[in-house]
Amino acid sequence: MPIITAFMNNRHSKGTGDSQVFAEELIRSLQTPCTEAEVSRINRMIEVEAAQLDETCRHEARTEMEAARLNHSRRRKEAQDHRLSVERRKSEFEKAESNRGSFILMLIAITFFCSCMVAEWDITWETLPYVLSVKKYSFTGVMLSLAPVTGLAILKVAFAILVWEPYQKARSEVSASPRKAPRIVMAVFLIAVGAFTLITLAKVAEARSEIGRLKEQARIESRTGAGESDKKVAADWNKINRAVYIVSICLAINGAIFFLIGLTELNRITAYVRSLVLLVSLRNWQRWLESGAARAETHLVEKTNAWENIDERAKNSAEYYRQRLSLILEQALKRPRKAQSYRELVAERLAANL
């Protein structure tokens, strides 16, 4: 039996050299014939050790049951605490899901932002290097052309602080009074942006008309020759210059707005994906903890049942140990007597006579 093996190993580990002799060791070293006193002494030792084995069985069963109970309590507490974390994360995920943003809107806004940025860079790339006598394809020319494009990011920060963030905060407020002013500011801002965009389109239409007229005049000259030069009409370069100027401003404003919208949608989508991944990982961990708690509960039931049957188990273990040593003792008493020398025999007889 495992409990007997563990008992014997534990018993020998507690021994201190030759100061403690056990029944089995005494039986193994027994020399026949032996006196009844020695046999009675060995039998008493067998009974004592059997009683010790009985107590060891009870102690081991009680210890294992307590350890199983502590392990079950710890795992169940971990599962309950983690379940609360999952519930909190689930509420955060539901909030992120309700405000997760639109991937299509983000894609459109980022595309339009890139369009505005490229258009603004192209306008400056055609003008600033020429005005400052810098080579267009040099590092200085490229960086000089990119400098005005950074204004889109600056405008994005200004719009976010002045208009966008107060508006988003007002939308989350429960009471209506603090929501009024940001909504009004947002409405005025959008109206101004829309009006400015319409003005830009009107100015671009005028410039387009002038450029179309110039192209038509150039086409006629190329077909009829220089003799028609008296019919030339001077182009209104003020309209063209105004159109380029106002388009540049419109690109900066609209690009900043598209940048703000696209970045906001991207942040919402990222927050949603992060919450989803974290919730899934927490749920998987929760299932693992619950399975561990179930295994701990099964182990506790087994150890509890073992403790309930400890009387029979301890009795059977002690009886098995007692019968085993009794059988070893019986076999030891049947061993043939060891041959003695003449001197040993004389010493034994003298000791018996004394």
332 vs 275, residue with greater confidence: 275
Residues 43 and 120 reside in one and the same domain: no
Residues 282 and 199 reside in one and the same domain: yes
Q: Is the overall model pTM greater than 0.85, yes or no?
A: no
Q: Establish if 331 belongs to a structural domain.
A: yes
Query: Helix, strand or coil for residue 337?
Result: coil
User: Rounded to 10 degrees, what is the CA torsion of 112, 113, 119, 125?
Assistant: -160
Q: Establish if 352 belongs to a structural domain.
A: no
Would you state the pLDDT for residue 136?
80
Check pLDDT > 70 for residue 349: no
Would you state the pLDDT for residue 16?
41
Q: Show the domain range for 161.
A: 102-289
Residues 145 and 32 reside in one and the same domain: no
Q: Establish if 97 belongs to a structural domain.
A: no
Residues 142 and 232 reside in one and the same domain: yes
Query: Helix, strand or coil for residue 338?
Result: coil
The residue type of 190 is L
Percent of the chain with pLDDT over 90: 2
Residues 135 and 262 reside in one and the same domain: yes
Q: Over the stretch 42-93, which tens digit does the pLDDT of each residue have? A: 888 888 888 888 888 888 888 889 999 999 899 888 888 888 888 888 888 8
Residues 331 and 268 reside in one and the same domain: no
Q: Over the stretch 232-272, which tens digit does the pLDDT of each residue have? A: 556 677 777 788 888 888 888 888 888 888 888 898 899 88
Q: Establish if 30 belongs to a structural domain.
A: yes
Q: Over the stretch 224-236, which tens digit does the pLDDT of each residue have? A: 765 555 555 566 7
Query: For 88-92, 112-116, 294-298, which range has the lowest pLDDT when averaged over its residues?
Result: 88-92
Q: Give the angle 117-121-122 at the CA atoms, nearest 5°.
A: 120
Q: Establish if 304 belongs to a structural domain.
A: no
Residues 201 and 341 reside in one and the same domain: no
Distance (Å, whole) CA 142 – CA 139? 5
Would you state the pLDDT for residue 105?
87
Residues 144 and 247 reside in one and the same domain: yes
Q: Establish if 300 belongs to a structural domain.
A: no
* Helices and strands per DSSP (H, E), number in the chain: 11, 0
Would you state the pLDDT for residue 235?
64
Residues 77 and 209 reside in one and the same domain: no
When pLDDT is averaged across residues 100-108 and rounded to a whole number, the result is: 87
Question: Cα 105 vs. chain centroid, distance in angstroms?
Answer: 29
Q: Establish if 303 belongs to a structural domain.
A: no
Distance (Å, whole) CA 15 – CA 9? 10
Cα Rg of the chain (Å, integer): 49
193 vs 335, residue with greater confidence: 193
- For residue 66, give Cα distances in angstroms to 6, 291, 296, 304, 330: 19, 20, 12, 9, 40
Q: Give the angle 346-348-351 at the CA atoms, nearest 5°.
A: 110
Residues 76 and 121 reside in one and the same domain: no
According to DSSP H, which parts of 103-236 are helical?
Answer: 103-131, 139-146, 151-159, 165-172, 180-224
Would you state the pLDDT for residue 17?
43
User: Rounded to 10 degrees, what is the CA torsion of 242, 248, 254, 260?
Assistant: -150
When pLDDT is averaged across residues 164-171 and rounded to a whole number, the result is: 77
Q: Over the stretch 323-345, which tens digit does the pLDDT of each residue have? A: 888 888 888 877 766 555 556 55
- Residue from 267, 329, 233, 321 nearest 49 by CA: 321
Residues 171 and 266 reside in one and the same domain: yes
Domain count, the chain: 2
Distance (Å, whole) CA 201 – CA 271? 37
Q: Establish if 301 belongs to a structural domain.
A: no
Would you state the pLDDT for residue 70?
92
Q: Give the angle 343-344-348 at the CA atoms, nearest 5°.
A: 115
Residues 319 and 239 reside in one and the same domain: no
Would you state the pLDDT for residue 3?
58
Burial class for 104, CB neighbours closer than 10 Å (0-12, 13-18, 19+)? exposed
Would you state the pLDDT for residue 353?
57
Q: Is the dihedral of CA 272, 150, 239, 232 positive or negative?
A: negative
